[in-house]
Structure 1
Amino acid sequence: MRLLLLFVFCTVLVKANPVQAQTRLQTYTAPKGALLNDDFTVKVRIPGQKWQDLPEYLVKVDEVVNAKHTVKDASMASFDFSGKVEVMVTYNKGAIETARIRPLSYGIQHQVDKNNLTFTLDQPRNLSVEVNGDIFHNLHLFANPMLEFVPKKNDPNVIFFGPGIHEFKDQKFNVPSGKTVYISGDAVLRGQLLIHDARDVKVIGRGMVEHTVKMGVHIANSQNVLVEGIFLTQCATGGSDNVTLRNIKSISYYGWGDGLNVFASNNVLMDGVFCRNSDDCTTVYATRKGFVGGSKNITMQNSSLWADVAHPIFIGIHGNSVNPDVIENLNYVNIDILDHKEAQIDYQGCLAINGGDNNLIRNVRFEDIRIENFRQGQLVNIRIFYNPKYCTAPGKGIENLLFKNISYTGNNATLSIIAGYNEERKIKKIVFENLKINGEIIHDKMNGKPAWYKTSDMAGLFVGEHVEEVSFINTENRNTENLLK
């Protein structure tokens, strides 16, 4: 009888505390000789348990002032968890007057006590913790999901980088076909990982390719590739098929520091990535850099983008003007854009499609994208153009674009642009569904729009020549309206 009562009591406890039963936390130590930054001290714990210290790594970011690039020292820390954890960030340079945790859409509440900031997380997040308005010496905090699979070190198909700093001859390591590369959370690589002419390759873990290495991972002419969970500066994909980039963190600080380039590739998924870059965060091009052909079936989702220079999202400028390419079936879904800073008007646009080199660009969807108050640039830049600096011909056409549930909160956006090239090179069929600017939906039947205005005028959007079928619709309350009829 006593055993039965004990079993019932324990069962009730487990059912009453499901979160506590599932909570797990994994932290890592920095290897000797790793590059660190002491601006912050970061600790994490399961509620009620002991605080665990995290290493605070040095990363570098790019600030542009009056066309001059200045490299700044920022911080990065990471850990893995499930369930719920508490985080304490100590600012070691003085008192915390103001603080924010971004993306703002996450709504993470925090408490400040002198130079300590605390908050709780109940799901994995890639965050920027900013103190006293400083976005260039901030803390990039990557709270990862638990790593459920760690390959065996002695598996002949596994290349295992355990704790420590790993340097390669000529600063390059070629990954053969059929291999899984594991980079543990306390491992630092000082050299590129090259996935060239390979297939069935995985690069997984919680470690990093150090920020000193430009183009940390490079994928070329390969199939069936997964890169997951690691930190790096850049990861380009060219001439490849069936590539997944999941929960990778890209931070760059030098010229031409694009984050996630796609060249002449098909079936590429970027899921849960964080990009803060000194050039375009993510691009899709056709023929470029020796890779030949169009690009199709490209998806980025559940991600955060921060462009210290150029575009958060950029599509279409490069191709083959002699044998024209097609870029098609692109999806950008559930994305937070944290910043956009570009003084050159030709290279502005959080969501930018610039058709060049006789490219035909079609079937592009932007959905559930939240744009914060960026520093300088445009919301949208859709153009067919001839840019002789980068192109040998104007683009052929752009058609079938959907902008659904796009929101912008801020006051720094300048005039957005949609413009074709001539009667043979047009932009056709663009739908803005529930475009929300500072809380107001811009649509063709909106209140307060003078009858003689274009709806685009209300959005600060110039629709130029050789553009056809642009509509602004409001479907946010359609279901409610139908119920009331």
Structure 2
Amino acid sequence: MPLRSVYLIVAALVLALLPSTAAHANGAPYTGKQYDYGGAITQISGSVQTVDDVADSIKTSTAATVNQIAAQRATLPYGDIYPAAGTPAQLTTYPGPPAMAASNQYSATVQQSGGQISSYVYKILARKTDTNRELDTSWTSFSFAGSVTVRVTRNAPGATGCLVRPYSANVVTSFSGSTCTFTLTEPGNLSVEFLPDIHNPILHPMLVFANPPEVDVPSASDPNVRYFAPGIHNVGAGQPITSGQTIYLAGGAFVSGAFIATGPVSNVTIKGRGVMSGLFMDTGNQDLNKDQPGMIDIADQGSTNLLVEGITFVDAPRFNVRALAQYTTIHNVKTMSWWYSTDGMVGGNKSLLENNFVKSNDDSIKLFWGDTTARGNTIWQLENGAPFMISWNIHVNPQTFNVYDNDVIHAEHYQIEKSGIFRALHAGSGTLSRYLFDDIRVENATWRLFYLAIEDNKWYDPALGHGEIEQVIFRNIYAHTTYTKPNLVQGYDANHKLRNINFQNVYANGVCFNNVQAGNFTVDPVTTNAIRIYRSTDGSCRT
């Protein structure tokens, strides 16, 4: 049998073995245990309607907010982000920056009609070299509609096959020589991995950002547009973000810059297919980097109506995108950064974080300000932080988060004890509530799924006291790996609890959890109440 056919079969088998998330048991009979304050344990048999009602309420509320955000975004100059249905087949590649060396690890071509077209491959080096186990990251970026055939060639010898993550993208590959070939019919932010180097740490990752076609492209002659054409632009830090402004990075633009709003701003669009680099701000020192600004930094929560779309952010020493405006959209953004202090993205109250790729060493997606939807995102977590961070020291009372249909393709946790895919280290006075995590897929992580705690940390202010966390639902969580660390659910004391925390159809370590033993949970009976661990009885959660 030809080698190409062998790898087509292997890829198909891998996809077939993954649990399907299409069939849900929401509202169906369940079996499991409820753990209450003081150590009481009761059997769950049948429906848990109160939890399903909370989940439905969160979905209804955030869907209405997403519509409000869309209505606000429609008023922006150049605010359209979705190609129209029936957009004709097209393919756009982008030039590499002049005098910047392409990756020496990989090359890539794309093909739609006619011959193959070279697609420029970038490379950035690891920066926190005392802990980063990876050496660099390469990526290529293009835009298309219809279908496109992608070929990625690894320059180093020794590969025996390839695959594409996330598995949920259902990308079937073929392999010949040192080239991985696959055809896409939908946009996606993908990791191309060459066997046997598909487990953490992958020393030389290769990413493919297959964008949708650009729409509503700004005019370079518009006086309200700051337009960066293809080429290298060194503009530095402190670049102002002002109300009514559009900042556009064309594909092939490489901008060394950081943009900041010094007060409240409104009606701002930041978009394009170019690259923004923060390497010029990197001091090479972890502590000093904490004083650097974000690359997009809008900290005033009086801001409103913001769009960040399409741009690739690399080598940020601090925040990539901090966008605390109300009615914020962060869409199809790509971030890659290396330091413990470098977060991926956070939106303000009433935000939509959609179809982004985040490769970060600190928290990838911060869920801090409420009334937020995060969907369709792909996360590659480095050794610090969490893919989904619920709290550090929140002193307000945020509520209503709908986090669904996301993929964590790697989490390289290996030494920081309190790491986890879902994490809360809440030392603030706020009460956090109404979180729905649904259809989250985790592919290559071995440390811990859940670390949920109210506990002091070095930023804790004893004058403010402690808060609580309540009404959190983890539903249809599929982790295709084995974890070595126990899951933790722990409040602070009898008056500052984790309450009504639900683990419904959570699959990991080859089992679907229905009690603390099956899920390897540590649940503190003195500081928690109504902790439910249960699975459906209809077979939709793999057992």
Equivalent position to 1:381, from 436, 448, 451: 451
Are the counterparts in 2 of residues 199 and 225 from structure 1 also a CA contact under 8 Å? yes
Displacement of 1:54 in angstroms is 0.8
2:393 is aligned to: 318
Assess, with a 3 A threshold, how the Cα gap between structure 1 residues 22 and 476 changes in structure 2: closer, same or farther.
farther
Are the counterparts in 1 of residues 105 and 154 from structure 2 also a CA contact under 8 Å? yes
Are the counterparts in 2 of residues 95 and 114 from structure 1 also a CA contact under 8 Å? no
1:256 is aligned to: 341
Distance 2:205 2:324 in 1: 36
2:264 pairs with 1:167: no
Equivalent position to 2:273, from 188, 206, 215: 206
1:34 is aligned to: 100
What amino acid does structure 1 have at the position aligned with 2:320? C
| Matched-pair identity in % | 26
2:187 is aligned to: 124
The higher radius of gyration belongs to: 1
Equivalent position to 2:524, from 454, 460, 464: 464
What is the 5 A alignment of 1:123-272?
A: 123-131=186-194, 132-133=196-197, 135-168=202-235, 170-197=236-263, 198-210=265-277, 212-213=279-280, 215-221=294-300, 222-233=303-314, 234-237=319-322, 239-261=324-346, 265-272=348-355
Distance 1:279 1:177 in 2: 30
Q: Which has the higher contact order (CA 8 A, sep 6+)?
A: 2
Assess, with a 3 A threshold, how the Cα gap between structure 1 residues 345 and 182 changes in structure 2: closer, same or farther.
closer
2:367 pairs with 1:307: no
What amino acid does structure 1 have at the position aligned with 2:485? T
Q: How many residues align?
A: 430
Assess, with a 3 A threshold, how the Cα gap between structure 1 residues 50 and 195 changes in structure 2: closer, same or farther.
farther
TM-score, normalised via structure 2 length: 0.74
Assess, with a 3 A threshold, how the Cα gap between structure 1 residues 33 and 219 changes in structure 2: closer, same or farther.
farther
Distance 1:429 1:345 in 2: 27
Displacement of 1:347 in angstroms is 2.8
1:446 is aligned to: none
What amino acid does structure 2 have at the position aligned with 1:307? Q
Deviations 1:384-415 (A, max 9, x none): 1112x121246311100111111111123421
What amino acid does structure 2 have at the position aligned with 1:143? A
Are the counterparts in 2 of residues 217 and 232 from structure 1 also a CA contact under 8 Å? no
Moved more, 299-308 or 211-220: 211-220
Q: Which runs of no fewer than 5 residues in structure 2 stay unpaired?
A: 1-84, 282-293
Moved more, 404-413 or 208-217: 208-217
2:189 pairs with 1:110: no
2:422 is aligned to: 351
Assess, with a 3 A threshold, how the Cα gap between structure 1 residues 478 and 379 changes in structure 2: closer, same or farther.
closer
1:391 is aligned to: 460
Distance 1:63 1:155 in 2: 41
Are the counterparts in 1 of residues 432 and 469 from structure 2 also a CA contact under 8 Å? yes
Displacement of 1:297 in angstroms is 1.2
Aligned-pair Cα RMSD in Å: 2.4
2:50 is aligned to: none
Displacement of 1:329 in angstroms is 1.3
Are the counterparts in 1 of residues 296 and 323 from structure 2 also a CA contact under 8 Å? no
What is the 5 A alignment of 1:2-81?
A: 22-46=88-112, 48-61=113-126, 68-69=131-132, 72-81=135-144
2:372 is aligned to: 298
Equivalent position to 1:284, from 367, 372, 376: 367
2:274 pairs with 1:274: no
1:3 is aligned to: none
Q: Which runs of no fewer than 5 residues in structure 1 stay unpaired?
A: 1-18, 286-294, 444-454, 480-485
Deviations 1:105-132 (A, max 9, x none): 2231111111111011110010111224
What amino acid does structure 2 have at the position aligned with 1:24? Q
Assess, with a 3 A threshold, how the Cα gap between structure 1 residues 476 and 76 changes in structure 2: closer, same or farther.
farther
